[in-house]
Structure 1
């Protein structure tokens, strides 16, 4: 009984920590979601965090999402640009990227490093509790260093060993955006179709090799999804969820996305792969091995969830062709 009480209290304490994280920019909003496809940099990869708007401005203050101490700064990284990493007492780390400048506690150190090493990539680790930040204290200022196209702040949540990266939406709760969950295209056995609710599509082989172009549409901005569930004849067949990703899989996005996905600059068109090819950590359910191979015609339901876990359901039919 005592052990159960301890476990319960630990769980409640964790929830309290999560609920006490704050957004890094005042009155801002989400512009990109966790685990979106990226084809920038040296290799395609998952988007490791979430992005907050800085209203197209550099120099907007970025606040510590929770109490913590400075673990590391990085300067001139080709993807992340300038970076601050904080360690929090709940065991998690927060990462802030694409910075234009740093807190007054850090900037003199950065200036000295740049004067010595110039534009080379610089990484500096700091002793525990040497430089401390309170929740809400300014740690840096927004910019567009690294691969950023427009000024914003990219925020990640990692474990203390930085072997696992988590969806920051499980910790930070930005205001929900008004938008529409869209299922725009189906790709079946390599053939692209505009999605039409209730339509019947054909496939070949043992099972349909189905992928989808789907997203949350917010004005002109496209935001990636949190979760996808695929049902054949009301049976859950495939389930993708972006809750956490091992760091070793960050550069393996094709476990979830197809190779004709693209995300570079202002172009974003990603196709979620809803069939077993190379299975990664984000694939939570794969029931394709248990499918009845004699199904020649069946209803299909796809449930799509946005980053705030709002759901929209889409329906169509599949027929095996000769």
Structure 2
């Protein structure tokens, strides 16, 4: 009886955890882009701070609220986000963001049209009092589009958290896949394709050890991605480098400060674009995705030959390990 009671508690917790997750903004849709990807569109390179859901190449496809809450603000004519809704969810103390919209629904449509009649195509932000415009989980709030820098119709979705640091309010953008009730059913292939060192490029294979030459300090960059189905490519969630059995460098795309949006070149190397990701395994700067950077500690302890491992992980638990040897050039 006691064992049955424990099982029932576990099952209840499992069901509850999924019922508390956010709904995807587009019903029966699929993921087309992931959090943290490199974007070279717009004025300058930046991080992709959300996840994208297909609107099946349609403008005007219904967009739904992820959870109960109220409208926090809207953006009109933002150069990157286009027409955007921000919802605040008191039960989670989080904000969800819906971008590249073609139009809004109901009272928001009336307000947006009124503002646009005054400002035209210039950017405008409209903030709303707490609880003034309430929404329910799954409620239709807007329609998909390709406003802002979007090239094709889709829905860009974010989860944001406001944190206090002294008198300053910091906006942290989280990987929305952690919060959304979404199961990826398509086949996935996580892999590192190539690695660069001292302007030389080497192919990577799981079943062989790759020797990588370096001079004073290894400045490595790895080309990596995860292919999903036939037409989606996303970035690995975590990239780690171990040298001589020590964790030396690690990047994880779980959160990025909103004010770090235009710091993408700290993490991404030359040749990166919307389809290709060259990830730096070194940096002289610190931003949120860089979790570990110990090169300064170990630079003078490197030997002539240094066994290393490059480890890729995705958000669904897949792991790929590539064996390396970092060889000091004499």
Kindly state the Cα deviation for residue 57 of structure 1 after the two structures are TM-superposed: 1.2
Return closer, same or farther for 1:63/1:236 CA change in 2, 3 Å cut-off: same
SS of 1:269 mapped into structure 2: coil
Question: Structure 1 stretch 221-230 or stretch 274-283: which is displaced more?
Answer: 274-283
Tell me, yes or no, if the aligned pair for 1:33 and 1:307 is still in contact at 8 Å. no
State the TM-score, normalizing by the size of structure 1: 0.89
Q: Does 1:185 align with 2:187?
A: no
Kindly state the Cα deviation for residue 221 of structure 1 after the two structures are TM-superposed: 2.5
Give the corresponding residue for 1:196.
205
Q: How does 1:95-174 map to 2 (within 5 A)?
A: 95-160=97-162, 163-174=171-182
Give the corresponding residue for 1:317.
325
Give the corresponding residue for 1:269.
276
Give the corresponding residue for 1:8.
none
Return closer, same or farther for 1:245/1:79 CA change in 2, 3 Å cut-off: same
Question: Structure 1 stretch 76-85 or stretch 212-221: which is displaced more?
Answer: 212-221
Return closer, same or farther for 1:276/1:109 CA change in 2, 3 Å cut-off: closer
Kindly state the Cα deviation for residue 215 of structure 1 after the two structures are TM-superposed: 0.4
User: Residue 258 of structure 2 is aligned with which of 244, 247, 253?
Assistant: 247
Tell me, yes or no, if the aligned pair for 1:18 and 1:172 is still in contact at 8 Å. no
SS of 1:124 mapped into structure 2: strand
Kindly state the Cα deviation for residue 79 of structure 1 after the two structures are TM-superposed: 0.9
Tell me, yes or no, if the aligned pair for 1:94 and 1:155 is still in contact at 8 Å. yes
CA distance in 2, matches of 1:51, 1:124: 24
CA distance in 1, matches of 2:287, 2:77: 31
Q: Does 1:49 align with 2:59?
A: no
CA distance in 2, matches of 1:156, 1:71: 14
Kindly state the Cα deviation for residue 162 of structure 1 after the two structures are TM-superposed: 5.9
Kindly state the Cα deviation for residue 318 of structure 1 after the two structures are TM-superposed: 2.3
Kindly state the Cα deviation for residue 77 of structure 1 after the two structures are TM-superposed: 1.1
Question: Structure 1 stretch 281-290 or stretch 205-214: which is displaced more?
Answer: 281-290
Give the corresponding residue for 2:35.
34
Kindly state the Cα deviation for residue 199 of structure 1 after the two structures are TM-superposed: 3.9
SS of 1:111 mapped into structure 2: helix
CA RMSD of aligned residues (A): 2.0
CA distance in 2, matches of 1:321, 1:229: 24
Instruction: Count how many residue pairs are aligned between Structure 1 and Structure 2.
Output: 305
CA distance in 1, matches of 2:18, 2:80: 29
SS of 2:303 mapped into structure 1: coil
Question: Structure 1 stretch 20-29 or stretch 200-209: which is displaced more?
Answer: 200-209
Tell me, yes or no, if the aligned pair for 2:100 and 2:156 is still in contact at 8 Å. yes
Give the corresponding residue for 2:294.
287
Instruction: Describe the superposition over 1:220-275 as per-residue Cα deviations: whole angstroms up to 9, x where unpaired.
Output: 32211111111113321111111111122111112211143223xxxx21211112
Return closer, same or farther for 1:162/1:60 CA change in 2, 3 Å cut-off: farther
SS of 2:107 mapped into structure 1: coil
SS of 2:117 mapped into structure 1: helix
Tell me, yes or no, if the aligned pair for 2:283 and 2:293 is still in contact at 8 Å. yes
Give the corresponding residue for 1:229.
240
State the TM-score, normalizing by the size of structure 2: 0.87
SS of 1:229 mapped into structure 2: strand
Tell me, yes or no, if the aligned pair for 1:237 and 1:285 is still in contact at 8 Å. yes
Give the corresponding residue for 1:175.
183
